[in-house]
Amino acid sequence: MTSLAHWAEVHRLAVAGREPVIARQVGSRLAVLWLGWSRFAAVASLSRATLTLGPDAGALYFLGWAEAATGRPQQALAYYERALAIMRQAGDHASEAATLNNIGNVYEGLGDRRKSLACFEQALPILREVGDRVGEAVTLSNIGSVHHARGDERGALTYLEQALHMLREVGDRAGEAITLSSIGTVYHGLGEERRALAFHAQALPILREIGNRAHEAATLNNMGLAYNALGDRQQALACYAQALPIRREVGDRAGEAATLSNIGSVHHGLGELQQALACYEHALPILRETGGRAGEAVTLNNIGSVYHGMGDLQRALACYEESLPIRQEVGDRAGEAVTRYNIAMIHRAGGHLDRAIGELELVVNLDRLVDHRDIAADTAMLEQVRRERDQSGMNQPVIIPASSAAGRKGRP
């Protein structure tokens, strides 16, 4: 019997024999190992068995982690909140901070960046007080990810670079790899795809070495985004083809939906609209099932863009208008600018130039707020539509050829 199998049997016997102290100690050790290898189903089963012996903060924490990793965010939040109450009652500040971090990550996945940031900002001073350098670095990295999700790429880099330095200093290879990949994602957001790929390429071998399958898949997915942005669509598809089965293997439903949506974006870029639509429509119910509101908004926007490309402007507009309030709800200002731009192009195509101008003015304001790289192009489009209105008369609708009114896809 291997060492792990031996300890799993010890845990089973402790549960059967109603020995809570042994079950909790052994269960915690096994859970830490299995989470590192993305064995989420095994962790969930282990933790549930431990909880048959009564409430336990550690088992609730690990069960929350497993539920979050397999696309069940509401269940994860419920377990984390129960764990948090026990930790606070016991005065276990280090565990309290770790749990706040994980709750923040769940809210980030749900697209609720305000709650996410509030959790990270609660965790950070606790981690500094208890001297947990690794936890502090992870929290800084998480705060950076929120800034990235809001479109504040420069702010994100500030936090992520601090985190990377600290993680290297303390020798946390897993944290280093995850942060390297996060920095790569930020450079993708800045349009610096070669730099993005360089950071992902540093992260990938570390993740494979330590057996972190979930983050390996995420990094492959992010490399696909960078290759697609560079126009190397075959390499992008190759990365997604590696990521998708890993995400399914580890039970990452939200990640599976993101990769399906990204494959749809490649087909979209190739002009293969039916294939793109099939991928987006496969992803959308998974995103709704897992509560991934930010991803749902992106995918609705992309479905709208497909219909736009097919010339079905009414269905396109319906998708954009369904996406827009979700973008606003989750605080995705860069994404809101993308969707408003697409709505403006629908109005322009229908000759409703005043409406188009109103949307484009909001787009340019949002671009300024997040220092978006498209601000010059969006400003130029605003001025062009203003000229079109002036030339046609204030109240005379002008029909713009559909070929010049194409929308732009959202960022996966």
Burial category of 195 from C-beta neighbours within 10 Å (exposed 0-12, middle 13-18, buried 19 and up): middle
CA dist 43 and 49 (Å) reads: 10
Q: Is 393 domain-assigned?
A: yes
Q: Is 87 domain-assigned?
A: no
In the DSSP assignment, the letter for residue 230 is T
Q: Is 126 domain-assigned?
A: no
> DSSP string covering 172-188, please?
-HHHHHHHHHHHHHHHH
Q: Is 394 domain-assigned?
A: yes
Predicted structure pTM score: 0.75
| CATH of residue 388 | 1.25.40.10
CA dist 98 and 100 (Å) reads: 6
CA dist 63 and 44 (Å) reads: 5
Q: Is 25 domain-assigned?
A: no
Q: Is 307 domain-assigned?
A: yes
Q: Which domain holds residue 304?
A: 292-412
In the DSSP assignment, the letter for residue 410 is P
pLDDT of residue 284: 96
CA dist 59 and 288 (Å) reads: 28
CA dist 3 and 247 (Å) reads: 27
Q: Is 128 domain-assigned?
A: no
Angle, in degrees to the nearest 10, between helices 57-69 and 93-110:
20
| pLDDT by 10s per residue, the chain, length 412 | 568 889 999 999 999 999 999 999 999 999 999 988 878 889 999 999 999 999 999 999 999 999 988 878 889 999 999 999 999 999 999 999 999 999 999 998 777 888 999 999 999 999 999 999 999 999 999 999 999 988 889 999 999 999 999 999 999 999 999 999 999 999 998 999 999 999 999 999 999 999 999 999 999 999 999 999 999 999 999 999 999 999 999 888 889 999 999 999 999 999 999 999 999 999 999 989 887 788 899 999 999 999 999 999 999 999 999 999 998 887 788 889 999 999 999 999 999 999 999 999 999 999 888 777 789 999 999 999 999 999 886 554 444 333 333 345 443 3
Burial category of 285 from C-beta neighbours within 10 Å (exposed 0-12, middle 13-18, buried 19 and up): exposed
Tokens 């795809």 found at: 193
> Are the beta carbons of 303 and 374 closer than 8 angstroms?
no
Q: What sign for the dihedral angle of Cα 263, 268, 270, 274?
A: positive
pLDDT of residue 405: 35
Q: Is 245 domain-assigned?
A: no
Tell me how many degrees the CA angle 30-127-252 measures, rounded to the nearest 5. Answer: 45
Tokens 């303390």 found at: 170
User: Which of 169, 173, 172, 109 is closest to 142 using CA atoms?
Assistant: 109
Which amino acid makes up residue 176? E
Tokens standing for 139? 């929290």
CA dist 327 and 151 (Å) reads: 12
Q: How many domains is the chain partitioned into structurally?
A: 1
> Are the beta carbons of 332 and 151 closer than 8 angstroms?
yes
